[in-house]
Amino acid sequence: MQDIWRLPATEVAALIRQKKISAKEAATAGLSRLDAVNPRINAVVDHRPDDALRQAAAIDAAIGRGDDVGPLAGVPVTVKVNVDQEGYATTNGLKAQRDAIAPANNPVVDNLLKAGAVILGRTNCPAFSYRWFTTNLIHGDTKNPHDPSITPGGSSGGAGAAVAAGIGHIAHGTDIAGSIRYPAYACGVHGLRPTLGRIAAYNPGLPERSIGPQLGAVSGPLARTIGDLRMALAAMSARDPRDPWWVPAPLEGPKREKRAALCLNPDGLEIASEVKAALVDAGKRLERAGWIVEQVATTPPLQEAAEHQTKLWLGDNYEAQLAAAEREGDPGALVCLRGNRAKVFPFDAAAFSHALTRRATLARQWLEFLEKYAVVVMPVSGELPFPDGLDRKDEASFARVWRAQLPQVAIPFLGLPGLTVSTGLVGRVPVGVQVVSGRYREDLCLLAGEAIEAGGTAPSPVDPAS
């Protein structure tokens, strides 16, 4: 079979279970695609072909015995380099962690393997996973396969670029302020940030994270079809006792009326005309699929939520983070921390208490809003994907980037799931929309996402542009 790497993960898994192709053939196709395109985009920064083929051989042997190999059944995937995979360095884009060899797997890696996935390789991220751009001093720059002059997104930029270019059918990413949703947006694929506690997480080889990042960071999937995201979420969200935040919430909640709020300017966000056009088009696609779509002037507060999320993420333990960035010497990480200093430091007990108090109030307002609407459709960003490295250009550009990313940064503070749905291209620059729903209602995000996807053309693998 030609070009297995082009197929959706759902189709690959079915073909392998039916013995129409082998897991080894799927892995070999994925590795060949990696060899062909990765030198141009630098999405995968650590991979061992023999390891991937060994995993695939074990899947084929299990199928031969008649064993249940799990829903992913030999599907090639990638894993971000900031989570532990036994025997590999969890660099998180840092020279300082080049020897941080994981003694055991992060739960999300274990869950992927238990579901039958074959891990092709590990994908790049910016130093400390801080930015919406992907470059560092240990692995180098990741390029957007659609256009190397624009960012591939971050911090899961390697994940977005890999799955967009056909390296793996599903990519694992992490998201604390947009790090799944923005690379999906920038690379023209779909990406799901689940609710905190949906997917178990823990890095056994690294120190425990401080409470701010614990409250905001999650793992989730990026893929070229919504169906693949649905399958990946089910696999990734299996129970693991090592994560005290994990919640045994059902993947499918009670049925809701298909009613969506469409908000073009949430909390006064200014948006580019191309972003507005994508949102209006997404609303029409939902209507054609039988959804009731109501355009609303604004949403409950996002700006304040984004400010508190930034403080919890960067302000909690700020001085230690800055000292580590200075030792690393990464220009992007330093720009991120120094550019936000006035907004997040000092972050004392009173500031922390205030943030958590307001978290309850703002989350309540959003949950009440979502009693009326199953989903809210809003921008991922106020702009099309940025020119690569824009945040380092000057102070005005740094402020511009952070202002545009308001809808991404706010959602983690509110404890809500968010889905990026790619809707097409503007020239060769991707564009899309964000779908938000209530806690543990990823199913509603995916339901709306499927309707939006079906109304257009689903993303397909691209050959890296020059």
pLDDT digit string, tens, across residues 227-236:
999 999 999 9
Instruction: Provide the pLDDT confidence category of residue 1 given band limits of 50, 70 and 90.
Output: low
* Residue 121: HSE in the Cβ half-sphere, 13 Å Cα cutoff: 26
179 has a pLDDT exceeding 90: yes
Mode of pairing for the β-strands spanning 170-175 and 418-426: unpaired
pLDDT above 90 for 466: no
**Could you give the number of structural domains in the chain?**
1
The catalytic residue positions are: 80, 155, 179
Tell me if 325 is assigned to some domain: yes
Q: 462 in a domain, yes or no? A: no
Instruction: Tell whether 60 is covered by a domain.
Output: yes
Per-residue pLDDT tens over the stretch 6-30:
999 999 999 999 999 999 999 999 9
Please indicate, yes or no, if residue 134 is contained in any of the structural domains.
yes
CATH code at position 409? 3.90.1300.10
Inform me whether the pLDDT recorded for 286 exceeds 80. Answer: yes
Report, as an integer, the average pLDDT of 255-283: 98
DSSP conformational letter for 312: I
CB 84 within 8 A of CB 206: yes
- 461 within a domain of the structure (yes/no): no
In which band, very low, low, confident or very high, does the pLDDT at 187 lie, cut at 50, 70 and 90? very high
Q: Count the neighbouring beta carbons within 10 Å of the beta carbon of residue 394.
A: 10
What is the per-residue pLDDT across 47-100, written as a single tens digit (0 to 9) for each?
Answer: 999 999 999 999 999 999 999 999 999 999 999 999 999 999 999 999 999 999
Of 344, 353, 355, give the one whose Cα is nearest residue 319: 344
Torsion of CA 414, 106, 151, 38, to 10 degrees: -160
pTM of the model: 0.98
Q: Answer yes or no: is 465 within a domain.
A: no
Q: Residue 171's CB: how many other CB atoms inside 10 A?
A: 34
Q: At what angle do helices 23-41 and 157-164 cross, to 10 degrees?
A: 120
Question: Quick one: what percent of the chain has pLDDT higher than 70?
Answer: 100
Determine the 3-state secondary structure of 364 from DSSP: helix
What six digits make up the tokens of 145?
């396969």
Q: pLDDT tens digits, residue range 121-174? A: 999 999 999 999 999 999 999 999 999 999 999 999 999 999 999 999 999 999
pLDDT at 458: 84
CA 97, 102, 103, 108 torsion-angle sign: positive
Q: Which residues form the domain of 407?
A: 4-454
Q: Provide the mean pLDDT of the chain.
A: 97
Q: How far apart are alpha carbons 39 and 167 in whole angstroms?
A: 12
Residue 459 lies in a domain: no
Would you say residue 309 lies in a domain? yes
Sheet containing 429-436: which strands, arranged edge to edge? 44-46, 118-123, 76-80, 170-175, 218-223, 190-193, 418-426, 429-436, 375-378, 259-262, 292-295
Q: Are the C-beta atoms of residues 260 and 279 closer than 8 Å to each other?
A: no
Place of tokens 């550009």: 397
SS3 222: strand
Contact 292, 325 (CB under 8 A): no
Give the ranges where 115-240 is alpha helix by DSSP (H). 157-164, 181-187, 211-216, 226-236
- In 82-180, DSSP assigns E strands to 118-123, 170-175
Read off the pLDDT of residues 162-176 as tens digits, 9 standing for 90 and up. Answer: 999 999 999 999 999
Nearest CA to 117 out of 128, 105, 127 is that of 105
User: Is there a contact between 213 and 196 (Cβ–Cβ < 8 Å)?
Assistant: no
**Cα(139)–Cα(18) distance, integer angstroms:** 39
Bridge partners (DSSP) listed for residue 184 = none
